[in-house]
């Protein structure tokens, strides 16, 4: 008599930028739901701390990959480090911002951000997606921002790169209908993470000066995680943020752009 194999195969999730902020919160949610984890970040010390913290709470197998995601061809290196491991959930969370006039910002820093937000996100998605489609299941979350919905003077490349992530994610979500693979793009507004600390602005603006509408990272992660599990395409946490995302439809773009500049000057300037 043939014995039935009843053991459930554990699924694996890959999270970039997992050493802090939303990446860490999302990794916690995945571990809580029984996923094994592949956590990627440039900060190996923080990554080790995260691994120990998660392992103390949940019985997940956790693989760490220490990579600078802003470098070209890093996606291929990450994919090779997986050694054939199937990825059931991919969360492209890593990112950073740059404050300042485009004419004045450092090009190497600009290029690193564009490599991370555009090339790494796109290439890693392409590499992981093929296996998902072949298996007929999988979930992808790409981290965009409320910034994706309008131009952003004094953070022009950040806003533009987040708009790319939004557009790219919506497009492939449509292409993947019927494949068993879903794509969710999370678009949070201001969130209490270390983002402001790494905005390269040459000033002492280490924290947001505008305190209104700053979200809790745990709540944002939970909102995005639930949206991903449901297969929702665009996820914007917060009623006020949803309103702001629609504002450019009703107000001239030139006016919205001028408003965004005033906000940036107030929030991040000296």
pLDDT in tens, 138-158: 999 999 999 999 999 999 999
Whether domain 12-268 has CATH 3.40.50.720: the reply is yes
Is residue 259 within 8 A of residue 248, CB to CB? The reply is no
Please tell me the predicted confidence (pLDDT) of residue 201: 46
- Count Cβ neighbours within 10 Å for each residue of 82-117 and write b for 16 or more, e otherwise: beeeebbbbbbbbbbbbbbeeeebeeeebebbbbbb
Residues in CB range of 36: below 8 A, 6 or more apart: 10, 11, 12, 13, 60, 61, 62, 63
Every domain of the chain and the residues it spans: 12-268
b vs e for 254-264, b when ≥16 Cβ sit within 10 Å of the residue's Cβ?
A: eebeeebeeeb
Residue % of the chain over a pLDDT of 70: 88
Given the DSSP bridges, would you call strands 36-41 and 181-186 parallel, antiparallel or unpaired?
Answer: unpaired
State the pLDDT confidence band at 113, using cuts at 50, 70 and 90: very high
Q: What is the pLDDT of residue 7?
A: 47
What separation in angstroms does the CA of 103 have from each of 78, 100, 106, 108, 153?
34, 8, 9, 13, 11
Scanning the structure block, which residue is given the tokens 């043939």? 2
For 163-214, how does the pLDDT look when each residue is reduced to its tens digit (9 = 90+)?
A: 999 999 999 999 999 999 999 999 999 877 665 555 544 444 445 544 445 7
Please state which of the ranges 27-36, 152-161, 252-261 shows the lowest mean pLDDT: 252-261
What angle, rounded to 10 degrees, do the helices at 253-268 and 239-250 form? Answer: 140
Whole-model pTM: value is 0.88
Q: Tell me how far apart the alpha carbons of residues 40 and 93 are, in angstroms, rounded to a whole number.
A: 10
Q: Give exposure, 153-184, as e/b (b: 16+ Cβ within 10 Å).
A: bbbbbbbbbbbbbbebbeebbeebeeeebbbb
Which residue matches tokens 């946490």? Answer: 237
The strand pair at 181-186 and 62-66 is best described as unpaired
């Amino acid at each position: 008599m043939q014995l039935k194999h009843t053991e459930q195969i554990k699924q694996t999730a890959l999270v970039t930028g997992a050493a802090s902020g939303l990446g860490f919160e999302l990794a916690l949610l995945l571990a809580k739901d029984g996923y094994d984890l592949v956590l990627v970040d440039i900060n190996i010390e923080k990554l080790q701390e995260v691994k120990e913290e998660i392992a103390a709470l949940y019985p997940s197998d956790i693989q760490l990959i220490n990579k600078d995601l802003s470098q070209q061809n890093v996606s291929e290196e990450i994919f090779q480090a997986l050694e054939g491991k199937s990825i059931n959930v991919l969360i492209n969370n890593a990112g950073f911002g740059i404050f300042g006039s485009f004419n004045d910002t450092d090009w190497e820093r600009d290029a690193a951000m564009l490599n991370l937000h555009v090339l790494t996100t796109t290439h890693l998605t392409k590499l992981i997606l093929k296996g998902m489609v072949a298996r007929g299941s999988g979930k992808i979350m790409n981290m965009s921002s409320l910034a994706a919905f309008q131009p952003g003077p004094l953070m022009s490349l950040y806003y533009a790169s987040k708009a790319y992530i939004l557009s790219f994610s919506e497009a492939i979500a449509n292409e993947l209908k019927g494949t068993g693979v879903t794509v969710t793009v999370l678009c949070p507004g201001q969130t209490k993470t270390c983002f402001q600390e790494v905005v390269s602005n040459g000033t002492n603006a280490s924290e947001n000066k505008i305190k209104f509408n700053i979200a809790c990272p745990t709540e944002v992660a939970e909102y995005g995680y639930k949206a991903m599990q449901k297969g929702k395409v665009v996820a914007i946490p917060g009623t006020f943020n949803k309103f702001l995302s629609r504002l450019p439809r009703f107000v001239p773009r030139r006016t919205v752009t001028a408003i965004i500049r005033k906000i940036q000057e107030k929030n991040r300037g000296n």
